[in-house]
Structure 1
Amino acid sequence: MDDVVRRTALPGRSQSPHDKLARGLGYFSIALGVAEMVAPKAICKAAGVEGIENVVRGYGAREIATGAAILTSHNPEPWIWTRVAGDLADIATIATGLRQDNNSKGRSALTLAALAAVTIVDLACANGLNSEKASRKTAARDYSGRSGFPQGLQAARGAARDFKVPDDMRTPELLRPWT
Protein backbone atom coordinates (compact mmCIF):
# COMPACT_ATOMS: atom_id res chain seq x y z
CA MET A 1 0.00 0.00 0.00
CA ASP A 2 3.03 2.22 0.41
CA ASP A 3 3.34 2.62 -3.38
CA VAL A 4 -0.27 3.78 -3.74
CA VAL A 5 0.28 6.52 -1.17
CA ARG A 6 3.56 7.52 -2.81
CA ARG A 7 2.00 7.66 -6.31
CA THR A 8 -1.05 9.61 -5.20
CA ALA A 9 0.60 12.01 -2.74
CA LEU A 10 0.72 15.58 -3.95
CA PRO A 11 4.33 16.56 -4.70
CA GLY A 12 5.88 19.07 -2.32
CA ARG A 13 2.87 19.12 0.00
CA SER A 14 4.26 17.36 3.08
CA GLN A 15 4.48 20.14 5.65
CA SER A 16 4.59 18.20 8.90
CA PRO A 17 6.93 19.54 11.59
CA HIS A 18 9.21 16.53 11.17
CA ASP A 19 9.45 17.06 7.40
CA LYS A 20 10.32 20.72 7.97
CA LEU A 21 12.94 19.71 10.54
CA ALA A 22 14.36 17.16 8.09
CA ARG A 23 14.65 19.86 5.43
CA GLY A 24 16.44 22.11 7.93
CA LEU A 25 18.81 19.27 8.83
CA GLY A 26 19.48 18.77 5.12
CA TYR A 27 20.51 22.41 4.71
CA PHE A 28 22.55 22.21 7.93
CA SER A 29 24.35 19.11 6.61
CA ILE A 30 25.28 20.84 3.39
CA ALA A 31 26.53 23.97 5.19
CA LEU A 32 28.55 21.93 7.68
CA GLY A 33 29.94 19.74 4.90
CA VAL A 34 31.08 22.75 2.90
CA ALA A 35 32.77 24.19 6.00
CA GLU A 36 34.52 20.86 6.65
CA MET A 37 35.69 20.66 3.04
CA VAL A 38 36.88 24.27 2.83
CA ALA A 39 38.46 24.75 6.26
CA PRO A 40 39.26 21.39 7.85
CA LYS A 41 42.18 22.80 9.86
CA ALA A 42 39.96 25.43 11.50
CA ILE A 43 37.30 22.80 12.25
CA CYS A 44 39.93 20.55 13.85
CA LYS A 45 41.28 23.40 15.96
CA ALA A 46 37.78 24.40 17.11
CA ALA A 47 36.96 20.78 17.96
CA GLY A 48 40.16 20.28 19.94
CA VAL A 49 41.72 17.60 17.75
CA GLU A 50 44.81 17.85 15.60
CA GLY A 51 46.15 16.09 12.53
CA ILE A 52 42.90 14.63 11.16
CA GLU A 53 42.21 17.16 8.43
CA ASN A 54 41.76 14.47 5.78
CA VAL A 55 39.23 12.66 7.96
CA VAL A 56 37.33 15.94 8.40
CA ARG A 57 37.32 16.45 4.62
CA GLY A 58 35.86 12.96 4.21
CA TYR A 59 33.22 13.74 6.83
CA GLY A 60 32.46 16.93 4.91
CA ALA A 61 31.81 14.95 1.73
CA ARG A 62 29.54 12.63 3.72
CA GLU A 63 27.61 15.60 5.14
CA ILE A 64 27.11 17.17 1.70
CA ALA A 65 25.93 13.88 0.18
CA THR A 66 23.57 13.21 3.09
CA GLY A 67 22.16 16.76 2.99
CA ALA A 68 21.54 16.54 -0.75
CA ALA A 69 19.83 13.17 -0.31
CA ILE A 70 17.59 14.54 2.45
CA LEU A 71 16.53 17.50 0.33
CA THR A 72 15.86 15.53 -2.85
CA SER A 73 14.28 12.40 -1.40
CA HIS A 74 10.52 11.83 -1.18
CA ASN A 75 11.13 10.04 2.12
CA PRO A 76 14.03 11.61 4.06
CA GLU A 77 13.79 9.17 6.98
CA PRO A 78 16.59 6.77 5.89
CA TRP A 79 18.87 9.72 5.23
CA ILE A 80 18.17 11.16 8.68
CA TRP A 81 19.21 7.78 10.10
CA THR A 82 22.39 8.15 8.03
CA ARG A 83 22.95 11.46 9.82
CA VAL A 84 22.59 9.66 13.16
CA ALA A 85 25.23 7.12 12.10
CA GLY A 86 27.48 9.98 10.97
CA ASP A 87 26.98 11.71 14.32
CA LEU A 88 28.16 8.55 16.08
CA ALA A 89 31.27 8.47 13.87
CA ASP A 90 31.89 12.15 14.65
CA ILE A 91 31.53 11.50 18.38
CA ALA A 92 34.01 8.62 18.20
CA THR A 93 36.47 10.79 16.29
CA ILE A 94 36.22 13.75 18.67
CA ALA A 95 36.48 11.42 21.68
CA THR A 96 40.07 10.76 20.57
CA GLY A 97 40.74 14.44 21.27
CA LEU A 98 40.10 13.84 24.95
CA ARG A 99 42.97 11.34 24.97
CA GLN A 100 45.46 13.70 23.37
CA ASP A 101 47.93 15.44 25.67
CA ASN A 102 47.11 19.01 24.85
CA ASN A 103 45.32 22.00 26.30
CA SER A 104 42.24 21.61 24.12
CA LYS A 105 40.37 18.99 26.13
CA GLY A 106 37.79 21.64 27.05
CA ARG A 107 37.08 22.31 23.38
CA SER A 108 36.79 18.59 22.71
CA ALA A 109 34.31 18.22 25.58
CA LEU A 110 32.28 21.19 24.31
CA THR A 111 32.28 19.70 20.81
CA LEU A 112 31.11 16.36 22.20
CA ALA A 113 28.25 18.12 24.00
CA ALA A 114 27.25 19.89 20.76
CA LEU A 115 27.43 16.60 18.84
CA ALA A 116 25.29 14.90 21.46
CA ALA A 117 22.67 17.66 21.13
CA VAL A 118 22.64 17.35 17.34
CA THR A 119 22.37 13.57 17.64
CA ILE A 120 19.33 13.96 19.89
CA VAL A 121 17.70 16.28 17.33
CA ASP A 122 18.49 13.80 14.54
CA LEU A 123 17.05 10.92 16.55
CA ALA A 124 13.88 12.88 17.36
CA CYS A 125 13.43 13.76 13.68
CA ALA A 126 14.04 10.19 12.49
CA ASN A 127 11.64 8.73 15.06
CA GLY A 128 9.02 11.38 14.25
CA LEU A 129 9.27 10.68 10.52
CA ASN A 130 9.01 6.96 11.19
CA SER A 131 5.88 7.32 13.31
CA GLU A 132 4.09 9.70 10.95
CA LYS A 133 4.96 7.83 7.76
CA ALA A 134 3.57 4.67 9.29
CA SER A 135 0.11 6.23 9.31
CA ARG A 136 -1.84 6.79 6.11
CA LYS A 137 -3.36 10.01 7.42
CA THR A 138 -0.27 12.09 6.68
CA ALA A 139 -0.22 11.92 2.87
CA ALA A 140 -2.51 14.24 0.90
CA ARG A 141 -3.93 12.15 -1.91
CA ASP A 142 -4.86 13.49 -5.32
CA TYR A 143 -7.50 11.45 -7.14
CA SER A 144 -8.69 14.26 -9.43
CA GLY A 145 -7.29 12.57 -12.55
CA ARG A 146 -9.13 9.29 -11.97
CA SER A 147 -12.51 8.41 -13.46
CA GLY A 148 -13.00 4.80 -12.34
CA PHE A 149 -13.37 3.59 -15.94
CA PRO A 150 -10.56 1.41 -17.36
CA GLN A 151 -10.45 3.14 -20.77
CA GLY A 152 -11.16 6.60 -19.38
CA LEU A 153 -14.23 8.75 -19.05
CA GLN A 154 -14.52 9.62 -22.77
CA ALA A 155 -14.67 5.93 -23.76
CA ALA A 156 -17.41 5.31 -21.20
CA ARG A 157 -19.68 8.08 -22.48
CA GLY A 158 -22.55 6.60 -24.50
CA ALA A 159 -21.42 3.00 -24.00
CA ALA A 160 -24.80 2.02 -22.52
CA ARG A 161 -26.67 3.11 -25.67
CA ASP A 162 -25.52 0.00 -27.54
CA PHE A 163 -26.59 -2.34 -24.74
CA LYS A 164 -29.10 -4.94 -25.96
CA VAL A 165 -31.53 -6.15 -23.32
CA PRO A 166 -31.89 -9.95 -23.38
CA ASP A 167 -35.35 -11.47 -23.67
CA ASP A 168 -35.22 -13.16 -20.31
CA MET A 169 -33.40 -11.07 -17.73
CA ARG A 170 -34.11 -13.37 -14.81
CA THR A 171 -32.25 -16.47 -15.99
CA PRO A 172 -28.69 -16.25 -17.32
CA GLU A 173 -28.26 -17.60 -20.84
CA LEU A 174 -26.17 -20.59 -19.81
CA LEU A 175 -28.85 -21.70 -17.33
CA ARG A 176 -31.79 -21.43 -19.72
CA PRO A 177 -33.40 -24.70 -20.89
CA TRP A 178 -32.56 -26.04 -24.35
CA THR A 179 -35.38 -25.71 -26.76
Structure 2
Amino acid sequence: MQNSSRGTTLVRGLGWFSIALGVAELVAPRVVSRAAGVEARTALVRAYGLREIACGIGLLAARDPQPFLAARVAGDVADMGSVAAASYKLSPRDKRRSLGAAINIAGITALDLYATRACRDTRTLANSGRAVRQDYSGRTGFPRSAEQMRGAALADFHMPRDMRAPDALQPYTTT
Protein backbone atom coordinates (compact mmCIF):
# COMPACT_ATOMS: atom_id res chain seq x y z
CA MET A 1 0.00 0.00 0.00
CA GLN A 2 2.81 2.39 0.82
CA ASN A 3 4.55 1.74 -2.52
CA SER A 4 1.22 2.30 -4.24
CA SER A 5 0.75 5.70 -2.61
CA ARG A 6 4.35 6.68 -3.41
CA GLY A 7 3.82 5.65 -7.03
CA THR A 8 0.57 7.60 -7.18
CA THR A 9 2.21 10.66 -5.67
CA LEU A 10 5.08 10.44 -8.16
CA VAL A 11 2.70 10.02 -11.11
CA ARG A 12 0.66 13.04 -10.00
CA GLY A 13 3.84 15.08 -9.56
CA LEU A 14 5.03 14.09 -13.02
CA GLY A 15 1.61 15.03 -14.38
CA TRP A 16 1.78 18.53 -12.92
CA PHE A 17 5.41 18.92 -13.98
CA SER A 18 4.50 17.86 -17.49
CA ILE A 19 1.69 20.41 -17.68
CA ALA A 20 3.92 23.20 -16.34
CA LEU A 21 6.72 22.38 -18.79
CA GLY A 22 4.25 22.13 -21.66
CA VAL A 23 2.77 25.53 -20.87
CA ALA A 24 6.27 27.03 -20.74
CA GLU A 25 7.10 25.47 -24.11
CA LEU A 26 3.88 26.80 -25.62
CA VAL A 27 4.12 30.31 -24.21
CA ALA A 28 7.88 30.94 -24.47
CA PRO A 29 9.48 28.48 -26.91
CA ARG A 30 12.53 30.68 -27.57
CA VAL A 31 13.27 31.10 -23.88
CA VAL A 32 13.01 27.33 -23.33
CA SER A 33 15.30 26.70 -26.33
CA ARG A 34 17.84 29.22 -25.11
CA ALA A 35 17.78 27.76 -21.59
CA ALA A 36 18.46 24.34 -23.10
CA GLY A 37 21.35 25.77 -25.10
CA VAL A 38 19.87 24.85 -28.46
CA GLU A 39 18.32 26.75 -31.32
CA ALA A 40 15.19 24.81 -32.10
CA ARG A 41 12.33 25.96 -34.24
CA THR A 42 9.52 27.44 -32.21
CA ALA A 43 6.98 25.18 -33.94
CA LEU A 44 8.92 22.10 -32.78
CA VAL A 45 9.17 23.38 -29.20
CA ARG A 46 5.44 24.18 -29.20
CA ALA A 47 4.67 20.68 -30.50
CA TYR A 48 6.74 19.28 -27.65
CA GLY A 49 4.72 21.53 -25.32
CA LEU A 50 1.45 20.10 -26.58
CA ARG A 51 2.82 16.60 -26.07
CA GLU A 52 3.81 17.45 -22.50
CA ILE A 53 0.38 18.92 -21.69
CA ALA A 54 -1.41 15.89 -23.17
CA CYS A 55 0.77 13.52 -21.14
CA GLY A 56 0.27 15.57 -17.98
CA ILE A 57 -3.51 15.61 -18.31
CA GLY A 58 -3.45 11.89 -19.05
CA LEU A 59 -1.35 11.17 -15.96
CA LEU A 60 -3.72 13.15 -13.75
CA ALA A 61 -6.99 11.90 -15.23
CA ALA A 62 -6.45 8.30 -16.34
CA ARG A 63 -7.12 5.26 -14.17
CA ASP A 64 -4.16 3.53 -15.79
CA PRO A 65 -1.26 6.00 -16.18
CA GLN A 66 0.96 3.39 -17.89
CA PRO A 67 0.39 4.56 -21.51
CA PHE A 68 1.04 8.17 -20.56
CA LEU A 69 4.21 7.24 -18.68
CA ALA A 70 5.37 5.35 -21.78
CA ALA A 71 4.61 8.46 -23.86
CA ARG A 72 6.67 10.54 -21.44
CA VAL A 73 9.64 8.17 -21.79
CA ALA A 74 9.32 8.31 -25.59
CA GLY A 75 9.12 12.09 -25.36
CA ASP A 76 12.26 12.16 -23.23
CA VAL A 77 14.07 10.17 -25.92
CA ALA A 78 12.85 12.67 -28.55
CA ASP A 79 13.96 15.59 -26.37
CA MET A 80 17.39 14.02 -25.89
CA GLY A 81 17.68 13.47 -29.63
CA SER A 82 16.73 17.07 -30.35
CA VAL A 83 19.29 18.39 -27.87
CA ALA A 84 21.99 16.10 -29.27
CA ALA A 85 21.20 16.97 -32.89
CA ALA A 86 21.18 20.71 -32.24
CA SER A 87 24.26 20.86 -30.02
CA TYR A 88 26.96 19.88 -32.51
CA LYS A 89 27.19 23.36 -34.06
CA LEU A 90 26.99 25.44 -30.88
CA SER A 91 29.45 27.67 -29.11
CA PRO A 92 31.26 26.28 -26.05
CA ARG A 93 28.94 28.27 -23.75
CA ASP A 94 25.83 26.88 -25.43
CA LYS A 95 27.35 23.39 -25.40
CA ARG A 96 27.57 23.62 -21.59
CA ARG A 97 23.90 24.62 -21.46
CA SER A 98 23.08 21.78 -23.81
CA LEU A 99 24.94 19.34 -21.57
CA GLY A 100 23.00 20.68 -18.57
CA ALA A 101 19.74 20.17 -20.46
CA ALA A 102 20.77 16.61 -21.37
CA ILE A 103 21.54 15.86 -17.71
CA ASN A 104 18.15 17.27 -16.68
CA ILE A 105 16.39 15.19 -19.34
CA ALA A 106 18.25 12.10 -18.14
CA GLY A 107 17.10 12.77 -14.57
CA ILE A 108 13.48 13.20 -15.64
CA THR A 109 13.75 10.04 -17.75
CA ALA A 110 14.95 8.16 -14.68
CA LEU A 111 11.90 9.42 -12.73
CA ASP A 112 9.59 8.43 -15.59
CA LEU A 113 11.10 4.94 -15.73
CA TYR A 114 10.85 4.59 -11.94
CA ALA A 115 7.17 5.63 -12.01
CA THR A 116 6.52 3.22 -14.88
CA ARG A 117 8.03 0.36 -12.90
CA ALA A 118 6.20 1.32 -9.70
CA CYS A 119 2.86 1.35 -11.55
CA ARG A 120 3.61 -1.95 -13.26
CA ASP A 121 4.64 -3.58 -9.96
CA THR A 122 1.51 -2.27 -8.22
CA ARG A 123 -0.71 -3.53 -11.02
CA THR A 124 1.04 -6.93 -11.04
CA LEU A 125 0.65 -7.24 -7.27
CA ALA A 126 -3.05 -6.33 -7.44
CA ASN A 127 -3.72 -8.70 -10.34
CA SER A 128 -1.94 -11.61 -8.70
CA GLY A 129 -4.23 -11.50 -5.67
CA ARG A 130 -1.23 -11.17 -3.35
CA ALA A 131 -2.30 -7.75 -2.23
CA VAL A 132 -2.21 -7.50 1.54
CA ARG A 133 -5.75 -7.47 2.87
CA GLN A 134 -6.83 -7.80 6.45
CA ASP A 135 -9.35 -10.55 7.09
CA TYR A 136 -11.64 -9.70 9.99
CA SER A 137 -14.35 -12.26 9.18
CA GLY A 138 -13.49 -14.37 12.23
CA ARG A 139 -13.50 -11.43 14.65
CA THR A 140 -16.45 -10.68 16.91
CA GLY A 141 -15.08 -7.90 19.06
CA PHE A 142 -15.71 -9.86 22.25
CA PRO A 143 -12.86 -10.97 24.51
CA ARG A 144 -14.30 -14.49 24.83
CA SER A 145 -16.43 -16.78 22.71
CA ALA A 146 -20.17 -16.20 22.36
CA GLU A 147 -20.98 -19.21 24.58
CA GLN A 148 -18.76 -17.88 27.36
CA MET A 149 -20.18 -14.38 27.05
CA ARG A 150 -23.86 -15.42 27.21
CA GLY A 151 -25.30 -14.22 30.49
CA ALA A 152 -21.99 -12.71 31.67
CA ALA A 153 -23.49 -9.22 31.88
CA LEU A 154 -26.42 -10.42 33.98
CA ALA A 155 -24.22 -12.12 36.58
CA ASP A 156 -23.53 -8.94 38.53
CA PHE A 157 -26.05 -6.56 37.01
CA HIS A 158 -28.20 -4.43 39.32
CA MET A 159 -31.03 -2.47 37.78
CA PRO A 160 -30.66 1.27 38.54
CA ARG A 161 -33.61 2.87 40.25
CA ASP A 162 -34.37 5.23 37.39
CA MET A 163 -34.61 2.34 34.93
CA ARG A 164 -37.18 0.39 36.92
CA ALA A 165 -40.89 0.66 36.45
CA PRO A 166 -42.52 3.32 38.60
CA ASP A 167 -43.50 2.11 42.07
CA ALA A 168 -47.19 2.48 41.22
CA LEU A 169 -46.77 0.00 38.34
CA GLN A 170 -44.58 -2.51 40.21
CA PRO A 171 -47.45 -4.92 40.93
CA TYR A 172 -48.08 -5.26 37.21
CA THR A 173 -44.48 -6.09 36.16
CA THR A 174 -43.49 -9.69 35.59
CA THR A 175 -40.09 -9.57 37.19
Q: TM-score by structure 2 length?
A: 0.68
Residues 1:40 and 2:34 aligned together: no
Equivalent position amino acid for 2:118 in 1: G
2:88 is aligned to: 99
RMSD: 1.8
Question: Among 85, 91, 101, which residue is 1:111 paired with?
Answer: 101
Map Cα deviations across residues 12-54 of structure 1 (whole Å, 9 max, x no partner). Answer: xx96211110011001000000000000000010101114221
Contact 1:87 1:115 in 2 (8 A): yes
Tell which has more relative contact order, 1 or 2 (C-alpha 8 A, sep 6+).
1
Map Cα deviations across residues 89-130 of structure 1 (whole Å, 9 max, x no partner). Answer: 000001123201324000000000000000001001101110
Q: Which runs of 5+ in 2 are unaligned?
A: 134-175
Contact 1:97 1:105 in 2 (8 A): no
Partner Cα separation in structure 2 for residue 69 and residue 98 of structure 1: 31
Aligned residue pairs total: 127
Map Cα deviations across residues 126-169 of structure 1 (whole Å, 9 max, x no partner). Answer: 011101111125599xxxxxxxxxxxxxxxxxxxxxxxxxxxxx
Alignment of 1:18-37 (within 5 A): 18-37=7-26
Alignment of 1:53-68 (within 5 A): 53-68=42-57
Partner Cα separation in structure 2 for residue 118 and residue 15 of structure 1: 20
Residues 1:132 and 2:122 aligned together: yes
Q: Which runs of 5+ in 1 are unaligned?
A: 1-13, 141-179
Q: TM-score by structure 1 length?
A: 0.67
Q: Which runs of 4+ in 1 moved over 4 A?
A: 137-140
The structure-2 alpha-carbon separation of the partners of 1:43 and 1:139, relative to structure 1 and needing over 3 Å to count, comes to farther
Contact 2:40 2:86 in 1 (8 A): no
Structure having the larger proportion of residues in helix = 2
1:148 is aligned to: none
What is the SS of the residue equivalent to 2:125? coil
Equivalent position amino acid for 1:44 in 2: S
The structure-2 alpha-carbon separation of the partners of 1:96 and 1:132, relative to structure 1 and needing over 3 Å to count, comes to same
What is the SS of the residue equivalent to 1:101? coil
Partner Cα separation in structure 2 for residue 21 and residue 39 of structure 1: 26
Residues 1:86 and 2:75 aligned together: yes
